[in-house]
Amino acid sequence: MKRKVTLKQIAKELDVSISTVSRALSNSKEIGEETRQKIQAFAKFYNYKPNNIALSLKNRKTKTIGILIPEIVHHFFSTVIRGIEIVANKRGYNVIIGLSNESFSKEVINMEMLANGSIDGFILSISKETLLKQDYHHFKETISQGIPIVMFDRVVNEVDCDKVIVDDFKGSVNAVKKLISTGCKNIALITTMDYVSVGKLRTQGYLRALQESHMNPKASLILKLDDSLALEEHLDILENEIEQFFNSNTKIDGVFAVNELYAVTAMKVARKLNFNIPEDIQVIGFTDGVLSKHARPSLTTVSQHGQKMGEQAAHLLIDRLELDDDDESDTYIDENEIDSDFKTVVIETGLIERDSTK
């Protein structure tokens, strides 16, 4: 077991000082040609690599970014991670992952763990419980400690930071308009409780689309489901809920669902009730994941472009990190300047038309 070789060991072995070794390896021309060659050869032979931790301590930056998400077994989130990882790696950063599991306390704990020097900045999506409690102190404290945050998808106005979102509102409007334009008269909405920002926006989009087409929204056409039903374990309950919903609204000829699972379940129920898709009922979902492609019939969805969101988020964060490098000067003057230029990047959604619509 040959431990990694350090500068000190090289120095001792070659009978020079540590600083000479360090300089020789960084090709400083302060060191004589001969010694430099000797040191570099020795270092290469013993496969010297500088210790990251020591560098982090010295430079006061870790070159790693922390990702904090509610759940990882989730197509959307994992595509975002992939996006982040790609640009992070390309720009010389590592990513470290924390899962909140939709829990407020886990989010706080994780955040504090990583904020103690482990990472340079955060990219995160807020947990449901946090959104419910509307307690954002941990984000604000982290930011005030000089650790930048970039939020994606589930964001919140109360926190000043860079954000990356999709236009949930516009995406929904377009989806519902598509249903309208293909003849739907009674479009149902299957959504979640309002507290998760994205659910709310998608609901608003649905309403706006109806309004713009001079159609009256009916409460009976809106099904609000508890989030826990989205868990795989409660599939049957979800199915029952939707079946009841369908049965008490026989005229439904279009469904807009705020996520993939609701949409495919709606299709399943519709078929069970002997509706034909898309002839009798058309269905559109939000979030383009694996299910949409393989459902029968394949599902028309609003695509969120998770990977692109991740890439954008990573760029935003790293840009800010490297910008901060220069202004280490502790100039209090331009704090306002800096505060004010937080960006919110909006990723365009797309409507991927498949077989569940005409």
Binding residues for DNA (CB under 7 A): 4, 6-8, 15-20, 22-23, 25-26, 29-36, 48-51, 54-55, 57-58, 60
With CB under 5 to 8 Å by kind, the binding choice for 26 among DNA, its own copies, none is: DNA
With CB under 5 to 8 Å by kind, the binding choice for 18 among its own copies, DNA, none is: DNA
Residue identified by tokens 């070794």 is 21
Applying CB under 8 A, among 26, 44, 117, 280 the residue interacting with its own copies is 117
Rounded CA separation 125/159 (Å): 13
Contact 291, 95 (CB under 8 A): no
Cβ at position 57, least distance to DNA in Å: 4
Contact 179, 254 (CB under 8 A): yes
**Residues binding its own copies: number (CB under 8 A):** 55
Residue 2 near its own copies by CB under 8 A = yes
Q: How far is CA 68 from the centre of its chain?
A: 8
Rounded CA separation 117/145 (Å): 11
Residue 103 near its own copies by CB under 8 A = no
Cβ at position 118, least distance to DNA in Å: 12
With CB under 5 to 8 Å by kind, the binding choice for 32 among its own copies, DNA, none is: DNA
> Mask 260-299, x = binds its own copies (CB under 8 A)?
----x---x--------------------xxx-xxxx---
Residue 144 near its own copies by CB under 8 A = yes
Applying CB under 8 A, among 53, 157, 216, 341 the residue interacting with its own copies is 53
Which pairing describes strands 187-192 and 222-225: parallel, antiparallel, or unpaired? parallel
**CB closer to its own copies, 52 vs 344:** 52
Q: Packing angle between helix 235-247 and helix 260-272, nearest 10 degrees?
A: 60
Residue 219 near its own copies by CB under 8 A = no
Residue 137 near its own copies by CB under 8 A = no
Rounded CA separation 252/167 (Å): 26
Q: How far is CA 16 from the centre of its chain?
A: 50
Contact 286, 300 (CB under 8 A): no
Contact 317, 123 (CB under 8 A): yes
Rounded CA separation 31/181 (Å): 75
Applying CB under 8 A, among 98, 121, 171, 285 the residue interacting with its own copies is 98
Q: How many CA atoms lie within 13 A of 7 on its CB side?
A: 14
Spatial CA neighbour of 199 closest among 229, 170, 169, 235 = 169
**CB closer to DNA, 21 vs 238:** 21
- For residue 226, what is the DSSP state? -
Rounded CA separation 168/256 (Å): 13
Cβ at position 27, least distance to DNA in Å: 11
Residue 175 near its own copies by CB under 8 A = no
Residue 99 near its own copies by CB under 8 A = yes
| Binding-site ranges for its own copies (CB under 8 A) | 1-4, 47, 49-54, 56-57, 62, 64, 72-75, 78-79, 81-82, 85, 89, 94-99, 110, 112-118, 141, 144-146, 232, 235, 264, 268, 289-291, 293-296, 335
